[in-house]
Amino acid sequence: MVFDYAQALAARLPQQSGNIAAYRLENGERVWVRKAGKRIAKWRYALLGLFAHGLHLEALEPVPHPGGRAVIATEAARLQALAALGVRVPRLLAQAAEGLMFSHLGEETLLAAMERDGIARWQQGLDAIGAVHARGGYLSEAFARNMLLCDDGAVGFIDFEEDPGQLLSFTACASRDYLCYLHSTLWLLQAQGTLADAARRWRAHAGTLPPEVLGAIEAAVRPLRWMRTLHHPRWGRDTLRTATLAAWFDGLWREGERPE
């Protein structure tokens, strides 16, 4: 008998209070349900975009996340599009106006695996992002916390509430993926003392990128170089992670890998 995922979704949506929740279905399968939340005011994105827009940095432009039913439609479309390209993403099981159900992809985030295995897992994530782009795809928020290790050890991707491609070029989407990944991982490599190894691996990977993608990445980071000297905890976690990113690229440029 074919399991009725649509019925299972319809039964759970009215009872779910949060936007996202995990369930064990009657057939033993573990799944996730995302429920439409409140709409987000457009003015918040206008404020977030002032810095990036003023510097003409397309890759750093915030992507609108309107909330509500639009998020459900966006995530469903993105899951289907990426799956069609052969990208490891959750399988869309059921969709309704107020929510969707998708399969469980993996237990461990790539970030957690990096804490245990270090630079080798970082390289795996870098290669996985490159493979998505090679298939003509792009991600939404390619932070290491949104990358999971599947049962076979491959890297999969989650969290597709936004679609950068609705507003940005493919080049900007690809560079944005790398910027999200680097921002979310370099701080950990710094703590593990492997930033120099990461720089060596990045040079090799960057050599495989289209020049326009690499150029967009560097164009986004270059105006942030002044942040490389920020170290005090008072600046907060996100600022210090950006400072680590800026300092790392500054080191690459000072070594002459890319001219001013």
pLDDT digits (tens, 9 = 90+) for 23-50: 999 999 999 999 997 654 443 344 334 3
Percent of the chain with pLDDT over 90: 63
Please report, for the chain, the start and end positions of each structural domain, with discontinuous segments joined by +. Answer: 5-103, 108-254
CATH label, 5-103, candidates 3.40.50, 1.25.40, 3.30.70, 3.30.200: 3.30.200
Between 85 and 69, the more confident residue is 85
Q: Determine the pLDDT at residue 46.
A: 40
**Residue 1 predicted with pLDDT over 80:** no
Q: Determine the pLDDT at residue 63.
A: 64
| Region 217-226 average pLDDT | 81
Q: What is the mean pLDDT of the chain?
A: 85
Q: Determine the pLDDT at residue 53.
A: 46
pLDDT digits (tens, 9 = 90+) for 155-210: 999 999 989 998 889 999 999 999 999 999 999 999 999 999 999 999 999 999 99
C-beta pairs of 22-31 under 8 Å, 24+ apart in sequence: 22/104, 27/3, 29/3, 29/103, 29/104, 30/103, 30/104, 31/5, 31/93, 31/101, 31/102, 31/103, 31/104
Q: Determine the pLDDT at residue 247.
A: 83
**Residue 211 predicted with pLDDT over 90:** yes
Structure tokens at 107: 């237990």
pTM (global) more than 0.75: yes
Q: Determine the pLDDT at residue 229.
A: 67
pLDDT digits (tens, 9 = 90+) for 105-119: 999 999 999 999 999
pLDDT digits (tens, 9 = 90+) for 231-252: 656 656 667 778 888 888 887 7
